[in-house]
Amino acid sequence: METPRGIHDILPDETPKWQGLEALIREFAARYGYREIRTPPLEHTEVFQRTAGETSDIVEKEMYTFQDRGGRSLTLRPEGTAGVVRAYLEHGMAAWPQPVRLFYIAPMFRYDRPQKGRYRMHHQFGGELLGAVLPAADVEVLSLPIRLIQTLGLTEVMVRLNSVGDQKCRPRYIEALREYLRPHRDQLCADCQRKLEVNPLRILECKEPACHRIVEGAPRITEYLCDECRAHFEEVKQRFGLLAIPYTEDPFIVRGLDYYTRTAAEIHSGRLGGAQHQILGGGRYDGLAEQLGGPHTPGVGFGLGIERLMLVLEAEKLAIPTATRAAGLDIFVAAVGAPAEQEAFRLLDRLRTAGLRAVGETTDRGLRAQMKQADRLSVRFAVILGEQELSGRQAGVRDMRAGTQQDVPLDQLVSYLTTAAANGA
RNA sequence: GUGGCUGUAGCUCAAUCGGUUAGAGCGCUGGACUGUGGCUCCAGAGGUUGCGGGUUCAAUUCCCGUCAGCCACCCCA
């Protein structure tokens, strides 16, 4: 038996990295006033169908969808925003003080062909700011992961910005784009010919050389933005300048999800070898709540790929800060002989109750083997209990770093070790 | 979903032209050191050669299928 394709275990040697990164993420979320939300990994299929867009790749071919025993269609979440907005509506967060700032660190599921940096289950750190219309909101949300990334020390990151307009101006642009593309229809790749009718925006992202050449001469969405969208985009850019965050404007990013309006943002790393160099995607989604049947609710957010971020950290040889003290052990209790083992068993309980981290021998190997075990566990102290020690109501305490050893009375052991472990920790 | 490369011990890898008992290092267990870790030496355990089928006297080796990883697409985080 093994894990399903593209889905992996995270083993104890790896979890400290995750915990360190998560701790830093939580710290940054807190600094920006974002509170954690935990939505279920499973939603009604409609939640994603109605928001991501019927013609999006996610809905068309990447969702893990199945029927439960009651015949309902459920889907493992392919992205985080729709579920958060669903929760916002379901729990009447519109009645909370606005705007509402939320974040999550959660697994996402997409039925893609796996590759390095692309998995069927991956984790995203997402932030959502709901109930805020102004451009300042867009820049606030996006600045959070950007500052986080900078703190981690990432160097070659590119922030790309675009505006995809709104319900008023986007349809006009789509028509203009279609009109421009129609005469070139025969030169487009098969996929794009299909997209021409269904979703011409996505042709902009096509990397097929032929399509790309045609797209070069296509009208730019920025030329079709309505006054409100134009002003919004201008202020977003101005505020990126205010924070001195470098970015490039990219008229061809449209994002794979249909719910985006106005601001669309991506962050790429130049240090990732493979094709999976995008580490963040995000933007504004003012129409999403309505698509879920709720009242108009402006929102803006991002999703940051944790696995991809870790790949970049590795590629740039950057250390992940360890937020808490290492999960290492303080003490190993070695025992020789049955009476000593009984005493050791009781001692372990006392040590742990006193807040120390201690393990003992669980088989009955010789002292030599037990000391070897203590060494490999990298404990600070080994406590040795045998017949000699027991008869004197004391124990040998060996400092594993110094290689020194002394006898300590049993009734003073806990306080002795508590003090000793605290010193020079 | 399309095309390609690769799967040998827990890990990293070897095994001649298809040839008889599939090896090494690290790691693990034990011993030298009967109650004291690290260093050294010795020994041991550990394998359905990813899985299934085919060709052959004989398959880790050749062929087909399948599963998984990787690479390029598609797309995305």
Residue type, A86: R
Backbone angles phi, psi at A100, to 5 degrees: -105, 125
pLDDT of residue A291: 93
Cβ–Cβ < 8 Å for A124, A39: no
DSSP type of residue A244: T
Q: How far is the CA of A396 from the C1' of B43 (A)?
A: 32
Determine, yes or no, domain membership for A123: yes
pLDDT digit string (tens) for A251-297?
A: 888 776 778 899 999 999 988 777 789 999 999 999 999 999 999 99
Determine, yes or no, domain membership for A9: no
Is the distance between the Cβ of A396 and the closest atom of strand B smaller than 7 Å?
Answer: yes
Is residue A262 domain-shared with residue A391, that is, in the same domain? no
Q: How far is the CA of A314 from the C1' of B74 (A)?
A: 27
Is residue A120 domain-shared with residue A260, that is, in the same domain? yes
Is residue A131 domain-shared with residue A75, that is, in the same domain? yes
> Which nucleotide's C1' atom has the smallest distance to the CA of A404?
B36
DSSP type of residue A62: I
Domain count, chain A: 2
Is residue A240 domain-shared with residue A351, that is, in the same domain? no
Percent residues over pLDDT 70 in chain A: 97
Cβ–Cβ < 8 Å for A252, A48: no
State which residues form the domain around A348. 331-415
Q: Torsion angle of alpha carbons A26, A28, A29, A31, nearest 10°?
A: 120
User: Quick one: A235 exposed, middle or buried, by C-beta within 10 A (0-12, 13-18, 19+)?
Assistant: middle
The complex's ipTM?
0.86
Is residue A261 domain-shared with residue A377, that is, in the same domain? no
Report whether pLDDT(A424) > 70. Answer: no
Residue type, A375: D
Highest-confidence segment of A102-116, A169-183, A256-270 = A102-116
Q: Which of the four pLDDT bands, split at 50, 70 and 90, describes residue A355?
A: very high
pLDDT digit string (tens) for A190-245?
A: 777 877 877 888 888 777 777 778 888 888 888 999 999 999 999 999 999 999 99
Q: Which of A287, A315, A343 is the last residue of a domain?
A: A315
Determine, yes or no, domain membership for A406: yes
Q: Which of A315, A345, A373 is the last residue of a domain?
A: A315
Mean pLDDT across chain A: 91
Q: What is the CATH number of the domain that holds A70?
A: 3.30.930.10
Is the distance between the Cβ of A249 and the closest atom of strand B smaller than 7 Å?
Answer: no
Is residue A251 domain-shared with residue A359, that is, in the same domain? no
pLDDT of residue A171: 87
Q: What is the CATH number of the domain that holds A395?
A: 3.40.50.800
Determine, yes or no, domain membership for A190: no
Q: How far is the CA of A251 from the C1' of B27 (A)?
A: 53
pLDDT of residue A138: 98
Helix orientation angle between A306-315 and A15-31, rounded to the nearest 10 degrees:
110
pLDDT digit string (tens) for A303-337?
A: 999 999 999 998 888 888 775 556 678 999 999 98
pLDDT of residue A186: 82
Is residue A394 domain-shared with residue A355, that is, in the same domain? yes
Is residue A250 domain-shared with residue A130, that is, in the same domain? yes
Shortest CA distance to A315 belongs to which of A116, A181, A170? Answer: A116
Report whether pLDDT(A89) > 70. Answer: yes
Report whether pLDDT(A362) > 80. Answer: no
Is residue A372 domain-shared with residue A286, that is, in the same domain? no
How far is A106 from A102, CA to CA, in rounded Å? 13
Determine, yes or no, domain membership for A82: yes
- Annotate A252-278 with DSSP letters as a single string: T---S-TT-EEEEEEEEETT-SSS--E
Is residue A165 domain-shared with residue A23, that is, in the same domain? yes
If you measure CA to C1', which residue is closest to nucleotide B68? A5
Determine, yes or no, domain membership for A302: yes
Determine, yes or no, domain membership for A206: no
Is residue A149 domain-shared with residue A282, that is, in the same domain? yes
Is the distance between the Cβ of A389 and the closest atom of strand B smaller than 7 Å?
Answer: yes
Q: What is the mean pLDDT of residues A161-174?
A: 90
Is residue A307 domain-shared with residue A335, that is, in the same domain? no
Q: Which of A265, A286, A315 is the last residue of a domain?
A: A315
Determine, yes or no, domain membership for A322: no
Looking only at the bridges linking them, the beta strands covering A394-399 and A404-409 are: antiparallel
**Which positions of chain B lie under 7 Å from any protein Cβ?**
1-3, 28-38, 67-77
**Secondary element (H or E) of residue A299:** strand A299-305
pLDDT of residue A325: 54
